[in-house]
């Protein structure tokens, strides 16, 4: 009898589950009711194409709330939320003709809002239009305008991201699905990304380890590929850029092509800039006054090139693409603030030209190959990404002996005399994800793995060579309870292993033991290995009943210690310090609570995003009372330690439409951090941004048919003083800054010209940025900078 009950119950359950699924028909037509054939119709992960009658049938779709997206050649993209019920499974979509000159797919603000409202984490989404309007010296200075986002500036062309005050290996940059791997552990190491070659940019504020793995404990920046519409023939664009502060000139040329199934996209970027100027003629480098010739920061010129090519195939159920890129930069270090002898700089030689590159300088080359494949099944989708990267970084400087290094560089050395340090990294990566629906559940299961081989070179030592392997498995569930309520849950397991190589000095050091004196090559790094593993989790909710929206996310994140934290043992020439790793460090763990509250009316909207983090074992570089005498002029020794840390803060965004052509915006951010244990108990953590607010007024007049998308925008930024510091940081006074942007789209004889003009630091204010790489020497930020950019799109056929 029990078996019959069990059989009856299982049949009843199966019937209930099947009853919750249905076939959905979507009829696609023009506005005059004529059918559109071969339109791509998608309901979340399910998609198909319309037949000759304009009808698409999506089979076995669970009842619930979905995002319906329809794409067709020659028509504007269609997107809206739909509720699939037993009585609502026949949908009629009317497409409007595409009116853009090149039929390019542009990011729609409603699409971005829909994406943000379906995520439990706080995210910001921008596109190339945002990049053109706020173009900075690098991608991260461009994104710096977003609330909660800042950067560690390293001169005019290099910077690295900070999300809510966390950076370095606590923020992951994902490029076309593959984690970008450079030498991000160094404060003076920039991000090797060409900002002209990015598509949509998604900034995830807060821990994202459950998707991206260990290093995403502070957040992630997801750089998506440029969307190439199908059947567009040959086209492209030419970008021209000029900047007044450092006599910058550059170009970025794009060429793309596509038919109904195949496409290619290519880009060449070149930038050339001179030493940049600051609003002062003297800077004190560790109490030594340095005069600046014509206010220029000597030897900060640079050259950058970017080569990009991708090609692929798009079918009904299968698409694949291969992306190749190579980024190269040769940039100088501020000559008076690099090395252990900043006074021994031939300033006359440097000041003969503001565009030459003399010692010290760096060369960085980053090659990347990424394969992306998507396979669509009847009710699911599989995504596979494979990547190879090589990051080769070389730092050049005049040979200067310290400690027991020989006064004259030996002729027998195979290392070039000016090669101070070199880091060579090979990275092999792979991701796989499978997306499917189960009744109201949108599930994703996946795995990531990467292997690194790192070698070092040069006559100076900081970290040893090492090999590293990381892998992770995760499952993510998005439960669509109804059109307004979404629940999120995720679990992930990570495992990582690092093996460090032995390193001995290439020169002999004197060792006195009692009455005996011996000379030997000192060991700087021992051969050792460490492995780490952790479970992380995340749970969240979205509630969007109408004008009001709420999101909340709770979770645990994890980060493996990096090579510098475990095995460093050398002089940091940029900070005049001696850094020592700690091979007994435990992996970082963070617990977070992240919230978002929003209200949207016709003329105004407000978003408030508070957060709280707790690290029981945050890793930081702690200054000690000891000084190194063997490898430099008595540099203070810093050692990596761990302490518990509390962090909380919030971002506020308010938008108000004053007039149909006049919009105002307020962006505010606040962060507080405190170490709760250890030698620096009661202090904050390094690079904590000061509270700031940005007021914006944008006028978007409708002029005539030849001038469209015109705008005039003014940013007024107020940044408070940062007096909450940790040694060796210095207090930073507050400042006020005004930036102006204006632009238009000019149409002449069917040719379009996109013009954008910026004036950064309009009133040439002299101010210090607390998160700048050069803050410790009291170097102010760049003087007034006028940036002019022109984009000329073209179509061949």
Alpha carbons within 13 A on the beta-carbon side of 692 = 26
CB 217 within 8 A of CB 588: yes
The angle formed by the CA atoms of residues 220, 225 and 228, to the nearest 5 degrees, is 155
**What pLDDT, on a 0 to 100 scale, did the predictor assign at position 228?**
80
Residues with Cβ within 8 Å of 540's Cβ and at least 6 positions away in sequence, in order, are 120, 121, 487, 488, 489, 551, 552, 553, 554, 555
Nearest to 46 by CA among 379, 479, 319, 374: 379
Topology of the domain comprising 2-102 = Immunoglobulin-like (2.60.40)
Q: Read out DSSP for 400-467?
A: ---TTS-SS--TT-SS-TTEEEEEEEEEEEEEEEEEEEETTEEEEEEEEEEEEEEEEESSS-SS--EE
The angle formed by the CA atoms of residues 213, 218 and 221, to the nearest 5 degrees, is 75
**What pLDDT, on a 0 to 100 scale, did the predictor assign at position 8?**
46
- Which segments of 118-215 are extended strands (E)? 122-126, 149-153, 159-163, 166-167, 171-175, 178-179, 201-205
CB 47 within 8 A of CB 61: no
Sheet of 78-84, strand order: 46-49, 40-43, 64-71, 78-84
CB-CB neighbours of 702 under 10 Å? 11
Strand (E) or helix (H) holding 666? strand 662-675
Domain ranges in the chain are: 2-102, 261-792
**What pLDDT, on a 0 to 100 scale, did the predictor assign at position 9?**
46
Task: Give the CA-trace dihedral at 133, 137, 139, 140, to 10 degrees.
Answer: -110
Return d(Cα 202, Cα 200) in angstroms, integer.
7
Strand (E) or helix (H) holding 210? helix 209-212
**What pLDDT, on a 0 to 100 scale, did the predictor assign at position 99?**
46
**What pLDDT, on a 0 to 100 scale, did the predictor assign at position 107?**
38
pLDDT in tens, 130-178: 999 999 888 889 999 999 999 887 776 678 889 999 998 899 999 999 9
Q: Read out DSSP for 278-313?
A: -S-SEEEETTEEEE-GGGB-TT--EEEEEEEEEEEE
Return d(Cα 327, Cα 139) in angstroms, integer.
13
**What pLDDT, on a 0 to 100 scale, did the predictor assign at position 629?**
78
CB 375 within 8 A of CB 421: no
Strand (E) or helix (H) holding 264? strand 262-273
Q: Which residue has the tokens 């475990």?
A: 566
**What pLDDT, on a 0 to 100 scale, did the predictor assign at position 68?**
87
Alpha helices in 213-369 (DSSP H): 347-351
Topology of the domain comprising 261-792 = Maltoporin; Chain A (2.40.170)
Q: Which residues of the chain have pLDDT under 50?
A: 1-5, 7-19, 99-108
| pTM summary value | 0.87
Return d(Cα 746, Cα 706) in angstroms, integer.
6
Return d(Cα 476, Cα 211) in angstroms, integer.
8
SS3 167: strand
């Amino acid at each position: 009898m029990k078996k019959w009950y069990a059989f009856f119950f299982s049949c009843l359950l199966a019937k209930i589950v099947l009853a919750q699924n249905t076939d959905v028909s979507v009829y696609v037509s023009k506005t005059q009711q004529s059918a559109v054939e071969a339109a791509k119709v998608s309901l979340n992960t399910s998609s198909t194409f319309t037949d000759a009658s304009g009808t698409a049938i999506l089979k076995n779709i669970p009842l619930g709330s979905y995002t319906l997206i329809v794409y067709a050649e020659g028509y504007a993209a269609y997107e809206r939320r739909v509720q699939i019920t037993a009585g609502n499974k026949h949908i009629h979509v009317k497409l409007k003709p595409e009116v853009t000159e090149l039929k390019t797919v542009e990011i729609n603000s409603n699409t971005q809002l829909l994406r943000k409202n379906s995520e439990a984490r706080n995210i910001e989404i921008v596109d190339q239009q945002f990049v053109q309007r706020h173009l900075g010296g690098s991608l991260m200075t461009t994104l710096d305008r977003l609330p909660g986002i800042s950067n560690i500036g390293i001169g005019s062309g290099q910077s690295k991201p900070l999300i809510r005050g966390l950076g370095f290996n606590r923020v992951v940059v994902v490029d076309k699905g593959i984690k970008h791997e450079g030498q991000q552990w160094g404060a003076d190491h920039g991000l090797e990304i060409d900002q002209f070659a990015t598509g949509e940019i998604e900034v995830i504020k807060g821990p994202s380890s459950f998707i991206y793995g260990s290093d995403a404990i502070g957040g992630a920046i997801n750089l998506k590929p440029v969307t190439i519409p199908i059947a567009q023939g040959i086209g492209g664009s030419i970008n021209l850029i000029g900047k007044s502060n450092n006599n910058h000139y550059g170009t970025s040329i794009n060429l793309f092509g596509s038919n109904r199934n195949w496409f290619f996209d290519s880009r060449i970027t070149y930038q050339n800039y001179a030493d940049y100027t600051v609003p002062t003629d003297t800077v004190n480098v560790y109490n030594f006054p340095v005069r600046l010739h014509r206010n220029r920061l000597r030897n900060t010129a640079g050259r950058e090139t970017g080569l990009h090519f991708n090609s692929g195939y798009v079918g009904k159920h299968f698409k694949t693409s291969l992306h190749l890129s190579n980024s190269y930069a040769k940039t100088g270090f501020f000559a008076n603030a690099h090395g252990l002898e900043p006074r021994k700089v031939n300033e006359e030689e440097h000041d003969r030209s503001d565009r030459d590159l003399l010692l010290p300088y760096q060369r960085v080359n980053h090659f990347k190959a990424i394969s992306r494949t998507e396979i669509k099944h009847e009710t699911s989708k599989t995504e596979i990404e494979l990547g190879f990267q090589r990051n080769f970084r070389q730092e050049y400087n005049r040979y200067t002996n310290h400690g027991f290094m020989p006064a004259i560089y030996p002729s027998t050395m195979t290392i070039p005399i000016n090669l101070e340090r070199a880091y060579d990294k090979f990275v092999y990566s792979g991701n796989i994800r499978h997306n499917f629906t189960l009744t109201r559940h949108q599930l994703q299961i996946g795995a990531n793995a990467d292997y690194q081989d790192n070698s070092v070179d040069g006559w100076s030592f900081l970290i040893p060579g090492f090999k590293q392997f990381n892998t992770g498995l995760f499952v993510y569930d998005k439960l669509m309870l109804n059109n307004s309520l979404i629940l999120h849950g995720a679990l992930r397991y990570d495992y990582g292993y690092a093996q460090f190589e032995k390193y001995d000095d290439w020169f002999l050091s004197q060792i006195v033991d009692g009455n005996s004196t011996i000379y030997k090559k000192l060991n700087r790094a021992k051969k050792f290995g460490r492995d780490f593993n952790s479970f992380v989790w995340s749970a969240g909710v979205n509630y969007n009943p109408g004008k009001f929206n709420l999101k909340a996310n709770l979770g645990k994140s994890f980060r493996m210690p990096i090579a510098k934290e475990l095995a460093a043992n050398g002089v940091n020439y940029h900070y005049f310090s001696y850094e020592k790793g700690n091979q007994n460090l435990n992996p970082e763990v963070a617990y977070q609570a992240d919230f978002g509250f929003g209200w949207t009316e016709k003329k105004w909207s407000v978003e408030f995003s508070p957060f709280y983090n707790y690290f029981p074992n945050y890793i930081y570089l702690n200054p000690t009372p000891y000084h190194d005498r063997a490898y430099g002029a008595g540099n203070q020794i810093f050692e990596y330690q761990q302490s518990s840390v509390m962090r909380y803060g919030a971002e506020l965004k308010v938008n108000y439409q004053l007039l149909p052509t006049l919009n105002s915006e307020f962006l505010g951010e606040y962060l507080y951090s405190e170490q709760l244990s250890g030698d620096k108990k009661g202090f904050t953590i390094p690079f904590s941004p000061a509270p700031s607010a940005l007021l914006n007024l944008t006028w978007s007049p409708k002029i005539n048919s030849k001038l469209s998308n015109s705008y005039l925008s003014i940013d007024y930024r107020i940044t408070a003083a940062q007096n909450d510091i940790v040694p060796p940081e210095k207090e930073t006074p507050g400042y006020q800054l005004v930036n102006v942007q204006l632009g238009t789209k000019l149409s002449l004889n069917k040719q379009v010209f996109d013009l954008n003009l910026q004036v950064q630091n309009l009133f040439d204010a002299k101010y210090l940025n607390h998160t700048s790489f050069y803050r410790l020497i009291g170097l102010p930020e760049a003087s007034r900078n006028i940036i002019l950019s022109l984009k000329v799109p073209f179509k061949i056929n």
